[in-house]
Amino acid sequence: MKLDSNNHSVFSMCYHLVLVVKYRRKVFDTEISDFAKRKFVEIGSKYNITLVEWHHDKDHVHILFNAHPNSELSKFINAYKSASSRLIKRDFPYIRKKLWKEMFWSRSFCLLTTGSAPSDTIKKYIENQAQK
């Protein structure tokens, strides 16, 4: 297991996040997924969050990421969902028609710690879930 560090500590904080499109509308394709992934990386860098793995299905995404102990996860997730929702609807007008004035993402999300499981095991799990 690879450990991260800062000035005074060593840590490994890995999370599995599942975000679902509002009303589980099947609007995700590769183009939107790549756009959402780029925004995750951009916004995540401001919160000391790094993307490890990303997989999408038609109505949700599985994200594996690492965080620092000082990362405010709920603030990051809310900032990401808000910004990416606005930008996806701006840059993909056909999405705006399908979701009207609604947010792109559902209000809820699933965030799991991966514990001490090796990242390869988690990556395989996410890949398998994305294929179902």
Q: Is the pLDDT of residue 16 over 90?
A: yes
With a pLDDT cut of 70, the percent of the chain lying above it is: 84
Confidence of residue 76 (pLDDT cuts 50, 70, 90): very high
With a pLDDT cut of 90, the percent of the chain lying above it is: 53
Nearest to 73 by CA among 99, 101, 43, 100: 43
99 in a structural domain: yes
Looking up residue 49, the CATH number of its domain turns out to be 3.30.70.1290
Average pLDDT, the chain: 86
* pLDDT for the residue 100: 61
66 in a structural domain: yes
Give the ranges where 51-112 is alpha helix by DSSP (H): 73-91, 93-99
Confidence of residue 128 (pLDDT cuts 50, 70, 90): confident
* pLDDT for the residue 119: 64
42 in a structural domain: yes
Q: Is the pLDDT of residue 46 over 90?
A: yes
Lowest mean pLDDT among 26-40, 62-76, 87-101: 87-101
What is the count of structural domains for the chain?
A: 1
77 in a structural domain: yes
Record the pTM: 0.83
88 in a structural domain: yes
4 in a structural domain: no
Q: Is the pLDDT of residue 6 over 80?
A: no
What's the CA gap between 35 and 47, in Å, rounded?
19
Identify the domain containing residue 108 by its residue range. Answer: 9-131
The residue ranking higher by pLDDT, 93 or 67, is 67
Q: How many CB atoms lie within 10 A of CB 6?
A: 11
2 in a structural domain: no
